[in-house]
Amino acid sequence: VSQSRYYSNFRSLKANTNYTVEIFELSAVAITAQQIRGDASPFIVEWPAIDNKLQPVRGSGCKMNLVSQTDRQFLGLYTADFKKFRIDLKITGAGSPFWSGYLDSEQYSEPFTEIDNYTVSFSGTVGLALLDRFSYLQDDGSKFTGIVTQWEILQNCLNKIGIARDIYVGLSTTIPDYFIDTDQTIFHRTYVDNANYYNEDGDPETCRKVLEEILRPYGAFLFVENENYFITDLNTTLSNAEGGPSFQVFADDFTYSYTTEWTNNLYDLAYLGIADSSARLNVLGVVNKQVIKYSPYRETTVLDFSANTDFTGTPSSTNHGTAPTDWTEKQWPYSNTWEKFTAAYFCTLVGI
């Protein structure tokens, strides 16, 4: 059960707003929440630099600076379970957080020379970074199998994070000659074989790699904003549509909720303080060739098949030729492996 272990209140002088940061712990034992103090910069949301404007997965992190009022007060936050401690940041009094993630609990340091009232720094991640640590496997360790929609594969990956968020999808890519319902996206109409995400030895890709390969063909990218997942592309975010670009909203169980318009204005630039008046024009190289790499075999054994054991039912027989060079054609109605689409049959030849 996730329970509140620590909480701290602070005020942002720039935003003139009171905030509450809370650390939750997964524990079967009842925990009494303890109020703690932060230093002059108690909580900072960090957005890493983006090397490529088409980078498919874009996470964020945080840095917390907490005051240890007693010697090694926060040593219990060190653990090898990277989903044990969750961080929520919200406006004080608000019902839901606008930033939530996991404490980077595998790294911890503090000075030996201090006894009390010293600052200890922690980092956290919105959760997308954890996808590098999850293999594309089911909870019981078995493989995902079958041909499924890309929407189902998105669910498989995002469910690994374990934080309930709504999903906003706004993409400019369409499928020619196919109608996509208002409660569906292009991911609902595109199918992929799960076997693509396991190599010849059966080893799985990471969930981040799988997620990137789903998004990349559409020029799409995923990020978290105000505790919602956004899946969009440059054409949509730069749209001049009246009221803003249109987004389909799906609940945290991935079912369709409604369609809405989304404003492109995320922040007030005044919060940056001093703004530089200079600007640069950058020209990036374009891509005119695409290299597609694939393996023709999804298994180390290309085909393990025997018609004598696979074909079933009662066969009919037709004899051909004359002795001693005659042979028999057996026509079987069913197969355990293959599927027939016409009024045909499965055939074995005896005596050849």
pLDDT in tens, 158-194: 999 999 999 999 999 888 877 888 999 999 999 999 9
pLDDT in tens, 268-297: 555 555 556 666 656 555 556 666 666 655
pTM for this one?
0.73
pLDDT for res 49 = 81
pLDDT for res 100 = 94
CA atoms within 13 A on the CB side of 60: 18
pLDDT in tens, 287-339: 566 666 666 555 555 566 788 888 889 999 998 888 888 889 999 888 888 88
The average pLDDT across 29-35 equals 93
Cis status of the peptide bond prior to 333, with omega within 30 of 0: no
Confidence at 54, pLDDT banded by 50, 70, 90: confident
Which among 271, 161, 272 is positioned nearest to 222, based on CA atoms?
Answer: 161
pLDDT in tens, 132-154: 999 999 999 999 999 999 999 99
pLDDT for res 300 = 54
Task: Look at the chain and count its residues.
Answer: 352
Q: Which residues of 51-82 are buried (b: 16+ CB within 10 A; e: fewer)?
A: eeeeebbebbbbebebbbeeeebbeebeeeee
pLDDT for res 283 = 58
Checking if the pLDDT of 111 tops 60, the result is yes
Residue with token string 């597609």: 292
pLDDT for res 304 = 67
Confidence at 52, pLDDT banded by 50, 70, 90: confident
pLDDT for res 279 = 61
pLDDT in tens, 201-220: 999 999 999 999 999 999 99
More confident position, 18 or 343: 18
pLDDT in tens, 221-272: 999 988 999 999 988 887 766 667 889 999 999 999 999 987 655 555 555 5
State the chain's mean pLDDT as an integer.
Answer: 86
By the 10 Å C-beta count (0-12 exposed, 13-18 middle, 19+ buried), 37 is classed as: middle
